[in-house]
Structure formats: structure tokens, C-alpha cells
Structure 1
Amino acid sequence: MTAYIVFQRESTIDQQALDRYMERADGTLATHDVQALVDYGRHEVLEGPPVEGVVILAFPDAAAAKDWYLGEEYQEVVKNRFQGAIYRAVLVDGVDAGTLH
């Protein structure tokens, strides 16, 4: 079942560190089966506190998402994101077409 990692950037704390992350993060996806569905496009917060940006990545399943996120290559790069901004990252399973709870 398709799984998604949803990133919300809540606030920037070090733009240079965030820039280093942005320069390298896409390269960590090259060998993974992933599709970017949202990449810091225009957004409107309908509930909750404001966010600076949103990224949504689709993977074939949760194991594939974790393989990328927990992998050595991304873990080396993510250090810059942790220094550069406050984010929330959530792994969520998708649903079969037309299925809602």
C-alpha cells in the first residue's frame, strides 16, 4: 500500500544550514522509488499554527519510505535540516481508492 512522508516546515532557524540541506536532499532520493507530490507549493493553513512549507513524498509502502528516511545517505544530509529549521515529519499509509473511514 502506498505510504507518504509529509514534511511541514514550521520555522527556519538557520538559513545557511537549511540551504545546505536543500542542496543535497534531492540527491538522496535518486536510488529510491519515490514520487514528489507536493514540493513547497502555494499553501493555505486551514487549521492550526502557520507553516512555512509542505513536502509530500509517495513511496510504494512504509518499508520503502523508512529505507530512504533511515538510510545512511539521508541521515547524513538531514543533520543540516535539523540545524536549519523546525519540521514535523509524519509517515502515513495511504488508502485503497475510494476508501474513507
Structure 2
Amino acid sequence: MTAFVVLIREETTNPADLDQYREKAPLARDGHAITPVAFYGMQEVLEGPDFEGAAILRFPTMEEARARYHSPAYETARQYRQKGSISRVFIIEGIDAAPSS
């Protein structure tokens, strides 16, 4: 079943580290079926605290999403995101399309 990785950047704490993340994170796409659904575009907070930006990435399965997150290439990039920002990241399973009537 489809899975989505949601990255929410609450606050940038070190722009130089975040720049390193932006440089290294795309290298972690190789070998993983990732489809960007939303990527730091315009946003409107309707409830809850404001945040700087968000990305939503679609994967074919939860296992594929976990595999990319724990891949050596993303582990290298992730350390820079973690040093450069306060972020939340989670995986959520998608739902199958409702049957047609």
C-alpha cells in the first residue's frame, strides 16, 4: 500500500547545515521509487502552530519509505537536516481508492 513521508521544518537553526542537507538529500533518491507530491510550496496553516515549510514524498510501500530513510545516503544527509533545523518527519500509510459506485 502507498506510503507518504511528511517532513515539516519548524525552524531553521543553522542555515549552513541546512544547505548541506539540500545538497546531499537528492543523492538518496537513487534506487528508491520516490514521487514528490508537495515540496516546500505555498502553505496556509489552518490550525496549530506555524512552520517554515513541508515536503510530502510518495513511496510504493511503507517498507520502501523506511528503506530510503535508513539508507546510507540519506543517513549522511539527515545529520545535516537535524543539525540545521527543528523538524518533524513521519511516515503515514495511504488508503486504497474507494470503489466506484
**TM-score bucket of the superposed structures, by smaller chain:** over 0.9
Note if contact 2:9-2:53 (Cα within 8 Å) is conserved in structure 1: yes
Q: Secondary structure at the match of 1:31?
A: coil
Give, in angstroms, the shift of residue 42 of structure 1.
Answer: 0.4
Question: Runs ≥4 in structure 1, deviation > 4 angstroms?
Answer: none
The 5 Å alignment of 1:1-101 reads 1-98=1-98
Note if contact 2:25-2:73 (Cα within 8 Å) is conserved in structure 1: no
Gaps of 5+ in 1: none
TM-score by length of 2: 0.94
Give, in angstroms, the shift of residue 98 of structure 1.
Answer: 2.9
Q: Percent identity?
A: 37
Give, in angstroms, the shift of residue 30 of structure 1.
Answer: 2.2
TM-score by length of 1: 0.94
CA distance in 2, matches of 1:58, 1:68: 11
Gaps of 5+ in 2: none
CA distance in 2, matches of 1:30, 1:76: 14
CA distance in 1, matches of 2:79, 2:9: 15
Deviations 1:32-89 (A, max 9, x none): 1110111100001111100100100000000000000011111111000000001000
CA distance in 1, matches of 2:93, 2:43: 22
How many residue pairs get matched?
A: 99
The AA in structure 2 aligned to 1:35 is: T
Q: RMSD between aligned alpha carbons? A: 1.0
